[in-house]
Amino acid sequence: MLSLTSDGNTANVAMFEKFGLKEKITSDTPKYDDIISCFPNPAAPNKTIGCIFDMVHMLKLWRNMIASCQNVTWEEGTISWKNLVRVYHLQKYEKIVAANKIGRYHIDFEKHKMKAKYAAQVFSISVADTIDFCRVD
């Protein structure tokens, strides 16, 4: 099977929808048939082409969006880029690391924006735990 892999850019999502792909779940108990992730291969109609979003690119897009918007609000709450910046500065000032890998390249990522590990580490549970700890204590 061939696959078409892309990031979550709006144009790519629209292209997937034009191919007849469906990812929106409309019920609380989604079924396997609710998701359509393949379309017939135009060159070989008896075969299909699968479509997936590349999670590494998705992580980088999310990181870039949060950094540029500063705050992203959704039903679970608000994600604030300044909390990550505060963790970095606190750890740098106190000369301690609270069991996370946040460093200068996570905050000033423009020259390293293609490094997926920096985007993934921003969203790690250790960073979330550090932010929660700082918020409470």
The confidence score (pLDDT) of residue 26 equals: 67
Give start and end residues of each alpha helix (H) in 1-137. 10-18, 55-69, 81-94, 104-107, 116-122, 125-136
The confidence score (pLDDT) of residue 92 equals: 87
Distance linking the first and last C-alpha atoms of the chain: 52
Per residue in 34-83, pLDDT (tens digit) is 777 888 888 888 998 888 888 888 888 888 888 888 988 888 788 888 98
Q: Which comes out higher in pLDDT, residue 89 or 34?
A: 89
